[in-house]
Structure 1
Amino acid sequence: MLVSEKNKRIGNIDLHLRKTARQLVKFDTVDETLHYLIESFWKQFGCHYVSIILKMKDVLICKASKGDGQKFEQRFPMERTHCSELFLTEPKCCHDPIDEELTCEFLTHLQDEGFATWFTVPIKESGSNSMGVCVIGYEEEVPLILNADKLFEEFGEDIAAAIGIAQQKEHEKKKIKGMEWLKDNVYLGSSIEQLVANITERAGKATGAESVYVYLYDDHHNSFVYQPPAFGPMAVTAKLKLEEDYSLFHHFPYVDREGGSEITIPFTVNLKTIGVLHVVKKEAGTFTSEDLELLQLLSSHISVLIENARLYKAEMEDKRRLEKLMVNQQELVKRTLVGEGFQEITVSLSKMLGRSVVLFDRFLRPISSFRVEESQEEFEQIFAAVEQEKWAVLNASKREQWLKYGPQHDFAVWKVMGGGDCLGYVGVSIRKNEVDMVVRITLNHALDVYAIQFIKQKLVLDVKEQVKDGFIHQLFSEKIEEKEKLIEYANLFNVNIFQSNKIAVFSIECKQRVSEEEDLLSIEAKKTWLWERIREELLQFDPGMMVSRKAGKYLLIVPEKKVRETKDYWEKLYSRMTKMIPPNMQEMDILLGIGTSTKTLEDYYLCLRQALQALKIVTTNYPSKKFLSFESLGSYSVLYNLQETLAAKMFVKNVLEPLQSYGNGNGKGKDLFDTLRVYLLMNGNLKETAEALFIHRSSLKYRLGKITELLKCDIDDAEERFNLMLAYKLYDLYEKAESSVV
């Protein structure tokens, strides 16, 4: 009868637990499920204490309880390691043998509460990890339920399943609520600021965070830039520069990770990260997996909207820039009509682009510039970089070239083209990835405007050159006729023809012999190119100088006062000229002849003749000296004034022709001709003459004997030697100059 009664009560317990389990699945939240379970136990079994303890990561938390167990509950939350695993996986009763492995703080605190009967039920599904434990306590002995452990174990599984269902329902509710919030608060066409304001507020309130803010990725600068507004109090860095590995973890260690004091969710569109949502300092505990899922839900729906808003904003910005571009183009064109120089165009272009701009001439010398962001030191680095890459830029076929200055700065250079010729270069301090369609349109239009201005100036210069040619022709005429007109021209070119001026002439020569027609054309092109560079350089060296061309030579008119005031004036001037010869034109040479000073208008013709004669002498006799003044020519300056040129040539022929014609052109006559010249220059010293000619002394004596025989004169006689030396001087002055190949 006793056994029958026990079985009946066990059956009642089983029936009640089953009804309770079926009822649990009706609830939508975990809290509702737990409270129903507590009340069910309390009413059905008349226990004095019941509590449900759930495992939250590594901590046990008492989630629901009823009855008197205050001392026991004060021990929670409890570290997971302080509770034996058996209590979380198997039903246990106070009458069970207490093995050593069961001894733990959980058991100790349960026993200290003083229950006469207690038992624990694990909350877990079969084959799954334990979710926690249910504790039931009685103040008196309750032996009838000791054999119902199997039923309680099954019931624990039902509870676990019900809790799981409730958690899933809660999660779904959050999703639905989040979707409803998105539907009510996020609209297609919202601005970035509106979207950011909504998502930060929602994320902050839903997770209980102290502050929430958003960073959006900037492709141009490889950085995350703070996008206001934010939620809650905060102090953030406006820009976060990404490292070379493009890793977010350097700045956001909790990317898509729960369990910390902060959490970061990327905004992703088409596998590309466009920004991040950063949530900081949860008010209670750490961020959970539920927080992570909610934030990921918000991110997945708002990422596309943010990207669309960014694209729309960029499109509107491009539209605004294009509209502004039209205004700017009109402004640039206006500058070419009303302005005479380049500075106005450069300033306008710099302000349009928001970047520093430098205009160079076709030789890469700066003409005008306008600085925006760079310091003076950085600006000097730009010029240094251009100077370093000058020849590469000048010889490049591409219109657009990129240079580096400083550690990570870019400087772009574009050719200004007009009529198929390079007129100059425009340099802009700008990154390569910042040159978009609008910038290129602006630059292309600016290049055309610069080209127009260059052509305008060239036309003016061409007219001035034509007028200057007429002025130069009259000024250096042997007989000046229209003095009044000459004075008007002088005033036009700001040249004081009544002051004392130095006249100089230089030529650009090729050191190599030229035979083919195509080479002649190439040499002439190089000469023209060098002339343009040298002319600009000379005017920078001495703005008071007048530079022109006359009879195939290049003419300089320099105030004598400037020459006197500047130490080594001609040496410095010649040095500046030779520096204009690039490395790829080293076959070209510059020779300079300098005349005397003018006193009257009639002196200009004479001084020009003197400069030409000095140039002729330095070309034929002293090419190593490169430049000579007429005053330094010595006897040549006297011989130059001989009027009877024919008589001088006949004298040379009578004296030296026997040597020149000896040997019928096999070279022997030239050897004797050169030997006599060196012998005369060495004042008849046999040793020095032999060393200068690199021949043996006996060979020299043989040649001198042959020379004496041919000339029928005593070469050691002072009068004869004077005649011979004079013949050589006249030969250099007339014969050699006429026979030389230019």
Structure 2
Amino acid sequence: MDENKRQKLMKKIENHLRTTARKLVKFNTEGEALQYLVNSFGEELECDLIAIVLKEGDHVVPTLYQGDFQRGIPHPPIAMANCLPRLFEGSTTFQEVEEDSPCLLIELLRKNGIKTWFSVPIKDQESEYGICMIGFRRYVSLLAEARQLFDDFGEDVALAVTVARQKETQRRKMVGLQWLAQHVSLDTPLEQFVEKIVERAGKGTNAGGACMYLYREEDNSFVVHPPLYGKVASPKQVMMKNNYRVSDYFPFLERPGGDELTVPLVVNFKTIGVLHVERKNEGTFTKEDVEILDMLANYVAVMLENVRLYQQERDHTNRLRFLLQYQQKLMKETIRHEDFHGITKTVSHMFDKAVIVFDRFMRPIAHERSGLSGQQLRQIAKQVFNQVLGKSRMGGHIQLEGLSDLSIVVWPIHNGGDAVGYLAIEASPNEMDDFFSSWRRVGPQYFFDPIYETKARV
């Protein structure tokens, strides 16, 4: 071939590769991009066979296109160890490889009657996806000068594959989020919530099985929470010994490239469990699968936090309703009785504890005892007078001297900004639960302010 023809052919190839590269990045899926690549090569190069060989872990999966190049025929996976390494390093031609090469990819070309072939690696600086092999059943003169053009084109194809996979991953994420938004709410029972999450994890990653492990503090273990998606071969319980590093018990924790994949479930910087998938139906789990599971794990964390806040708000509302009901009862007792004995009895039944009401000078004016002797009552009054009188509006918790198994909580009772008395309720430190905390936040004046006003009017 004379120099003029070679230059024209080189220019033609360069223009074709540039045009193809620009169009490849416009496709939304990897399959569409690779199919366009095959069609463009088939039309421009008039070749007889095109093989798209994609890496999947330690194997490669060839797909052969022949005839009209509209439909590829997948070939069983081939171990990377049985392939010629230089095929994945740079553009290679049949002239640079020994005829009796044991490479199974080259053997596959021979079985299809290919005499002339060249390969282009699909890779860039960040990713290596595989190779594209173009074959002819006749002898064709190849241009050595086009090697660099095809190497650069291989990087463009790798970029197109990366963009297409990102688009597919984003689309699967959006579909997953929309699906979860339609099927999961704050009132969804835990079993149904787990079912929806593992189903989305399994379908989103094309896995044969998926499950959710939740951490159980009682025996320091991760336990599978039913229901499961598909068939899961992993153990139903994973015991943690002295080592608390989760990756030692789930070796594929955020590690793509295997037949299992696990991501942690973290709520408020605490690992409460893991989301686990296994047996991908095609190939091995990828980085895109990790992103999908991370998205689901974040969704689980947000939902659990929202459920906690929702229940906290609902409990707080119920407590306020409960306190309002008791205030109404106290108002009735105030009207029925001229003293505070009806009120203290009601509050005592409310907490099932001893209750004492003091006036502003720390003199007991009413009490309802539950197992307290008169001597203990006088001792309480003395210590309350010494420890609480003159303190802040919030009152405080007092451990009684001489009564190691008994302590009380004391709050000042205010009316119009002035302290008019004190309320003491029996409570040990271990019993300072959310209910007492709610009482402390609301304050006894929530009950007693209207009561004092009522008595004043009476």
TM-score range, shorter chain: 0.5 to 0.7
Please, which runs of 5 or more residues in structure 1 have no aligned partner?
A: 335-348, 350-358, 362-395, 401-412, 417-427, 442-742
The residue identity in structure 1 corresponding to 2:81 is T
| Structure with more helix by fraction | 1
Alignment of 1:213-224 (within 5 A): 213-217=211-215
State the distance in 2 between where 1:300 and 1:274 align: 12
1:122 corresponds in structure 2 to: 121
Tell me: CA distance 1:103–1:237, structure 2 relative to 1, closer, same or farther (3 Å).
closer
* TM-score, L = length of structure 2: 0.62
2:198 to 197, 200, 205: 200
Q: 1:147, CA displacement in angstroms? A: 4.6
**In structure 2, distance between residues paired with 1:92 and 1:235:** 43
Q: CA distance change for structure 1 residues 166 and 271 in 2, over 3 Å: closer, same or farther? A: same
Question: Aligned in 2, Cα 1:196/1:318: closer, same or farther, shift over 3 Å?
Answer: farther
1:170 is matched with which residue? 168
Cα 1:78/1:186, change in 2 over 3 Å = same
Give the letter for the 2:285 counterpart. Answer: F
Work out whether 1:271 is the aligned partner of 2:289.
no
Counterpart-to-counterpart distance in 1, 2:235 and 2:113? 58
Q: Deviations over 1:436-482 (max 9, x none)?
A: 445999xxxxxxxxxxxxxxxxxxxxxxxxxxxxxxxxxxxxxxxxx
- 1:52 alignment counterpart: 52
Residue 3 of structure 1 corresponds to 3
- Distance apart, 1:212 and its partner CA: 3.4
What is the CA RMSD across the aligned residues, in angstroms? 4.7
Map 1:621-640; keep pairs closer than 5 Å.
none
Q: So what's the TM-score if we normalise by structure 1? A: 0.41
Question: Could you tell me which residue of structure 2 aligns to residue 710 of structure 1?
Answer: none
| Separation (CA, whole Å) in 1 of partners of 2:431 and 2:253 | 30
CA 1:95–1:257: 2 relative to 1, 3 Å? closer
Could you say what secondary structure the match of 1:273 adopts? strand
Structure 1 residue 31 displacement after superposition:
0.6
**Are 2:223 and 2:237, in contact at CA under 8 Å, matched by a contact in 1?**
yes
User: 1:384-403 CA distances to partner (integer Å, 9 max, x unpaired)?
Assistant: xxxxxxxxxxxx96755xxx
Displacement after TM superposition at 1:19 (Å): 1.8
Residues 286 and 46 (structure 1), Cα distance of their counterparts in 2 relative to 1, 3 Å cut: closer
What residue number does 2:106 align with?
Answer: 107
Q: Which residue of 2 aligns with 1:296?
A: 294
The answer to whether the Cα contact below 8 Å between 2:263 and 2:276 also exists between their aligned partners in 1 is yes
| Deviation at residue 113 of structure 1 after TM alignment | 4.0
Change (3 A) 1:212 1:81: closer
Matching residue's letter, 2:304 = I
The alpha carbon displacement at 1:61 in A equals 1.2
- The letter for the 1-side match of 2:118 is F
What is aligned with 1:258? Answer: 256
Partners of 1:225 and 1:238 within 8 A in 2: yes
Inter-partner Cα distance in structure 1 for 2:231 and 2:83:
40
2:30 aligned partner: 30
Mapped contact 2:214–2:223 kept (Cα < 8 A): yes
- Distance change >3 Å, CA 310–CA 260, structure 1 → 2: farther
Take 1:56 and 1:226, find their aligned partners in 2: how far apart are those partners?
29
Shift of 1:85: 2.1
Post-superposition shift, 1:128?
A: 4.9
Gap change, CA 1:134 and 1:398, over 3 Å in 2: farther
Task: Give the partner amino acid of 2:306.
Answer: N
Conserved? CA contact 2:63–2:74, under 8 Å: no
Residues of 2 paired with 1:184 and 1:245: CA distance? 40
Equivalent pairs counted in the alignment come to: 358
1:149 to 142, 147, 150: 147
Task: Kindly state the Cα deviation for residue 145 of structure 1 after the two structures are TM-superposed.
Answer: 4.2
In the TM superposition, 1:644-683 aligns within 5 A as none
Which position in structure 2 is the counterpart of 1:139? 137
Partner amino acid, structure 2, of 1:279 = V
Q: Conserved in 2, the CA contact under 8 Å of 1:48 and 1:67?
A: yes
AA matched with 2:94 = C
Distance in 1 between residues matched to 2:147 and 2:26, nearest whole Å: 25
Higher strand share: 2
SS of aligned partner of 1:303: helix
Q: Following TM superposition, by how much is the alpha carbon of 1:32 offset from its aligned partner in structure 2, in angstroms?
A: 0.6
Shift, 1:301, TM fit: 2.6
Point out which structure has higher relative CO (alpha carbons under 8 A, 6+ apart). 2
1:12–1:268 CA distance, 2 compared to 1 (3 A): same
Instruction: Please tell me whether Structure 1 or Structure 2 has the larger radius of gyration of its CA atoms.
Output: 1
* Matches of 1:76 and 1:236, distance apart in 2: 27
CA distance in 2, matches of 1:55, 1:64: 15
Preserved CA contact (<8 Å) 1:268 1:303: yes
Following superposition, the deviation at residue 227 of structure 1 comes to 4.8
Letter in 2 for 1:54: L
Amino acid at match of 1:304: V
Partner of 1:527: none
Q: Deviation at 1:16?
A: 1.9
Q: Distance in 2 between matches of 1:310 and 1:224?
A: 21
1:26 match: secondary structure? coil
